[in-house]
């Protein structure tokens, strides 16, 4: 098993020998942190397409750069050992770059295999693969499995405690979408310079907070799952939102974000009520007296799903996404209008 773990130079030499003997060489890569059924099925599918499968494993340093300081859970050596124990994997090597350009240049695989939620045209290494006579193939990734969801289930089950639990008094909350609701809509927002709060947004948030509501942001960020930006990029922009909000007297009680693409079919992506149920448990929120505000029909549907009153704001997408056929409780011009309507609904 340990013999499968080799250096990248050794992998390049072996790949050349395999190709010279007429074998189809496959290459794929990933983090493979906390191996789950989705990983196993993906690797088995990949191996069925080739004669020999090389797996490039992201080093600990590259994982931290992409996913933040809390990852990986398992070290690169532990992850390599687990991968080497799988029958579908012929060779494993560790690499530190943030893309596979060097890997495909060295291995010159017959097939470069990627998970099905990628677009071949988005891969910078596609042209390199094809220049050596290979091609890119997308392998469908089974729904419902991800390392993040495994970690979330552990936390939800109470098997992991990051510190002393704070006991919150029962209160309702206003759950806010971020992009298009608090700030101007920008596709896959990942740069501070593009974060622009909507006029009066912070004043509206402060008004809602003064009414006694907790302020909680719930946002879908599929750009992370699609590889357009990292969690750290999201944190940087969100810290800017909080910094600007603080200057206007606003405080956010909690921020939840879903990093998955639609193809992942995860349990946390809006309009799933999963984050609202977490908030109810973690912050002692009364959902029946709470509100959900957002600029998309998924936000309005989230409010309905969670038993809250939903408000669709006409800023951002303004509900023109057309994903869900839903009637919100109120359609507001902007966040200030939404805050004024909430003031009329208290105790109703």
Q: What is the structure's pLDDT at 265?
A: 84
11-45: per-residue pLDDT in tens? 999 999 999 999 999 999 999 988 888 889 999 99
Pair (140, 182) in one structural domain: no
- Judge whether 339 lies within some domain: yes
| Banded model confidence at residue 264, pLDDT cuts 50, 70, 90 | confident
pLDDT at residue 158 is higher than 50:
no
Q: What is the pLDDT of residue 150?
A: 60
pLDDT value for 125: 84
pLDDT at position 185: 94
Degrees to nearest 5, angle at CA 60 with 56 and 62: 75
Q: Residue 148: what pLDDT?
A: 61
On whether both 192 and 289 belong to a single domain, the answer is: yes
Residues 6+ apart with CB under 8 A from 173: 213, 214, 215, 216, 253, 279, 283, 285, 290, 291
The answer to the question of residue 161 being in a domain is: no
Answer yes or no: is 322 within a domain: yes
- Cβ(302)–Cβ(217) below 8 Å: no
Q: In this predicted structure, what is the pLDDT of residue 60?
A: 92
281 and 317 share one domain: yes
Same domain membership, residue 19 and residue 51: yes
Residue 153 lies inside a defined structural domain of this protein: no
Residue 51 half-sphere exposure toward CB, CA atoms < 13 A: 13
Q: What's the Cα-to-Cα distance from 240 to each of 69, 196, 244, 280, rounded to whole Å?
A: 19, 10, 6, 26
The CATH number of the domain holding residue 297 is: 3.40.50.1000
pLDDT at 162: 47
- The domain boundary, picked from 114, 147, 180, lies at 147
pLDDT tens readout for residues 59-85: 999 888 877 777 888 899 999 999 999
Does residue 192 share a domain with residue 286? yes
Q: How confident is the model at residue 160 (pLDDT cuts 50, 70, 90)?
A: very low
pLDDT tens sequence across 103-153: 999 999 999 999 866 666 667 788 999 999 999 998 876 655 566 656 655
Q: Could you tell me if 253 and 336 lie in one domain?
A: yes
Q: Are residues 141 and 188 in the same domain?
A: no
Query: What was the pLDDT predicted at 143?
Result: 54
Last residue in a domain, options 87, 117, 147: 147
- The reply to whether 73 and 191 lie within a common domain is no
pLDDT at residue 73 in the model: 85
Share in percent of the chain as helix, strand, coil (round to 5): 40, 20, 40
User: Which domain, by its residues, includes 225?
Assistant: 166-345
For all residues of the chain together, what is the average pLDDT? 90
Per-residue confidence (pLDDT) for residue 155, from 0 to 100: 54
271 within a domain of the structure (yes/no): yes
Query: What residues have CB less than 8 Å from 8, skipping those under 6 apart?
Result: 56, 93, 94, 95, 103, 106
In a domain, 295, yes or no: yes
- Position 256 pLDDT exceeds 70: yes
3-state secondary structure of 186: coil
Kindly state the percentage of the chain with pLDDT values over 90. 74
Q: Which of 2, 71, 69, 70 is nearest to 30 (CA)?
A: 71
pLDDT at 159 exceeding the cut of 50: no
Instruction: Please state, as a whole number, how many other Cβ atoms lie within 10 Å of the Cβ of residue 343.
Output: 12
Tokens standing for 246?
A: 């603080």
**Token digits of residue 43:** 């690797």
Report whether 39 contacts 45 (CB < 8 A). no
What's residue 98's pLDDT? 84
> Same domain, yes or no, for 232 and 333?
yes
Q: Are residues 68 and 106 in the same domain?
A: yes
Decide if 158 is inside a domain. no
Report the SS3 class of residue 138.
Answer: strand
Kindly state whether residues 133 and 179 are assigned to the same domain: no
Are 37 and 140 found together in one domain?
A: yes
Number of domains in the chain: 2
| Residues linked to residue 207 through DSSP beta bridges, in sequence order | none
Neighbouring CB atoms inside 10 A of 268's CB total 20
- pLDDT value for 76: 93
pLDDT at 118: 62
**Half-sphere exposure for 256 (CA within 13 Å, toward CB):** 20
Q: How sure is the predictor about 215, in pLDDT bands with cuts at 50, 70 and 90?
A: very high
Boundary-marking domain end, from 147, 176, 203: 147
Say how far apart CA 258 and CA 245 lie, in whole Å. 22
Distance CA 231, CA 190 (A): 9
Determine the Cα–Cα distance for residues 139 and 116; give it in Å rounded to an integer: 5
> 160 lies in a domain?
no
């Amino acid at each position: 098993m340990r013999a499968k773990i080799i250096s990248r130079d050794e992998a390049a030499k072996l790949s050349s020998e395999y190709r010279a003997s007429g074998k189809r060489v496959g290459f794929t890569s990933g983090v493979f942190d906390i191996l789950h059924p989705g990983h196993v099925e993906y690797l088995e599918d990949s191996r069925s397409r080739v004669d020999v499968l090389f797996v490039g494993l992201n080093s600990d340093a590259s994982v931290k750069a992409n996913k933040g300081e809390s990852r990986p859970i398992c070290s690169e050596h532990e992850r390599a050992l687990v991968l080497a124990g799988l029958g579908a994997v012929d060779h494993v090597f560790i690499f530190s770059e943030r893309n596979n350009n060097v890997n495909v240049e060295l291995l010159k695989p017959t097939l470069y295999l990627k998970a099905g939620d990628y677009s071949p045209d988005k891969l910078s290494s596609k042209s390199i693969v094809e220049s050596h006579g290979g091609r890119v193939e997308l392998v469908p990734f089974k729904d419902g499995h991800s390392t993040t969801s495994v970690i979330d289930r552990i936390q939800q089950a109470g098997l992991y405690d990051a510190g002393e639990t704070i006991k919150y008094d029962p209160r309702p909350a206003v759950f806010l979408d971020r992009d298009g609701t608090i700030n101007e809509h920008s596709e896959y927002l990942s740069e501070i310079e593009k974060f622009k709060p909507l006029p009066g947004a912070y004043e509206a948030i402060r008004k809602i907070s003064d009414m006694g509501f907790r302020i909680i942001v719930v946002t879908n960020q599929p750009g992370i799952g699609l590889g357009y930006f990292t969690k750290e990029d999201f944190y940087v922009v969100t810290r800017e939102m909080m910094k600007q909000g603080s200057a206007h007297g606003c405080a956010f009680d909690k921020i939840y974000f879903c990093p998955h693409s639609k193809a992942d079919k995860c349990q946390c992506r809006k309009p799933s009520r999963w984050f609202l149920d977490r908030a109810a448990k973690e912050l002692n929120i009364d959902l029946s007296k709470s509100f959900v505000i957002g600029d998309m029909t998924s936000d309005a549907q989230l409010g309905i799903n969670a038993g809250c009153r939903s408000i669709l704001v006409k800023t951002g997408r303004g509900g023109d996404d057309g994903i869900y056929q839903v009637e919100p409780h109120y359609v507001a011009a902007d966040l200030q209008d939404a805050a004024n309507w909430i003031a009329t609904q208290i105790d109703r």
